């Protein structure tokens, strides 16, 4: 493979790389890593809700008052979500073209439960994010919303049991998706060392469980009254 063939313009080389299976996997891995970093950062920010309304609203206000940070981050997230979904669809097409006649009977040997769920957990997580933005960013999710009271919005939102249950289920799927995505990206990119893979899988599980318990703790703490409502 001529990675830097002289005389070929950079955009053509990028397009050629994208047209290979490894190129699509690399795009999916890179966009997935950036999205996972956002999720971890967002979780750490959100856990400040346990420190009270002043701390949490102060954090939300600080972010909103930093448009030079907020808008580039939003643009990067949008590009990453688009590339992640697009590359996953393209890889699904490549996979189905490689095996046009389906198995007579599916025997999921060697593939974990999480790997088989990637193609349906992904769309459910995407649907969750759309609802989440409607609820807490645009204020049209059907629960009370006040622009400058992120704390109150979260409390009012999670006081509704159906919303809390939906969040906990979505966080479970996000945990499965992250766990599989975080270790399989090493495999996809050719790093499959038998000595290091168990450690990578363990690290992926720890991060995914941190994300699950961290995020789920917020709606559950609201519903059980552990996080007080400010009147
Ligand atoms: C219990 C769990 C969560 C809580 C309490 C929460 C809370 C919030 C709040 C309050 C906002 C609005 C911030 C503001 O505009 O002032 C927000 C925005 C957002 N959240 Fe979450 N979040 C949770 C989980 C998640 C997850 C799991 C994801 C992604 C998979 C996510 C992605 C986003 C995105 C993309 C935004 C928009 C950020 C922006 O304005 O640019 N959130 N979240």
**pLDDT per residue as tens digits for the range 140-170:** 999 999 999 999 999 999 999 999 999 999 9
Instruction: Answer positive or negative: Cα dihedral of 75, 76, 79, 80.
Output: negative
Q: What is the pTM (predicted TM-score) of this model?
A: 0.90
Tokens of 161: 């049991």
71 within some domain: yes
76 within some domain: yes
Digit-by-digit pLDDT tens for the chain (231 residues) are 444 556 678 888 888 988 899 999 999 999 999 999 999 999 999 999 999 999 999 999 999 999 999 999 999 999 999 999 999 999 988 888 876 665 555 555 445 666 778 989 999 999 999 999 999 999 999 999 999 999 999 999 999 999 999 999 999 999 999 999 999 999 888 888 888 999 999 999 999 999 999 999 999 999 999 998 876
- Can you give the CATH number for the domain in which 46 is found? 1.20.1300
175 within some domain: yes
Give yes or no for residue 60 CB within 6 A of ligand 1.
Answer: yes
1 within some domain: no
| Dihedral pair phi/psi, residue 196, rounded to 5° | -95, -25
Give yes or no for residue 132 CB within 6 A of ligand 1.
Answer: yes
Ligand 1 centroid to Cα of residue 122, in Å, is: 17
Look at ligand 1, atom 6, and give the residue with the nearest C-alpha.
Answer: 46
3 within some domain: no
Burial label for 28, CB within 10 Å (0-12, 13-18, 19+), is: buried
Ligand 1 centroid to Cα of residue 89, in Å, is: 25
Number of domains in the chain: 1
231 within some domain: no
107 within some domain: no
216 Cα nearest atom in ligand 1: 1
Domain residue limits at 174: 10-102+112-223
């Amino acid at each position: 493979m001529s990675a830097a063939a002289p005389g070929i313009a950079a955009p053509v080389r990028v397009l050629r790389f994208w047209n290979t299976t490894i190129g699509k996997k690399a795009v999916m891995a890179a966009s997935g890593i950036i999205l996972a970093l956002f999720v971890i950062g967002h979780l750490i920010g959100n856990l400040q809700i346990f420190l009270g309304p002043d701390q949490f609203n102060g954090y939300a206000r600080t972010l909103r008052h930093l448009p030079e940070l907020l808008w580039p981050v939003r643009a990067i997230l949008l590009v990453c979500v688009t590339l992640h979904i697009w590359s996953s669809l393209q890889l699904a097409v490549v996979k189905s073209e490689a095996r046009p006649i389906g198995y007579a009977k599916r025997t999921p040997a060697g593939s974990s439960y999480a790997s088989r769920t990637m193609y349906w957990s992904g769309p459910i997580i995407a649907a969750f994010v759309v609802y989440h933005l409607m609820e807490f960013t645009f204020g049209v999710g059907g629960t009370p919303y006040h622009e400058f009271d992120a704390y109150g919005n979260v409390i009012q939102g999670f006081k509704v049991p159906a919303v809390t249950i939906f969040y906990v289920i979505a966080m479970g799927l996000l945990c499965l998706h992250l766990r599989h995505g975080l270790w399989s990206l090493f495999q996809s990119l050719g790093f499959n060392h038998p000595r290091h893979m168990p450690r990578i899988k363990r690290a992926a599980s720890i991060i995914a469980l941190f994300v699950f318990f961290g995020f789920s703790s917020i709606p559950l703490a609201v519903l059980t009254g552990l996080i007080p409502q400010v009147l």
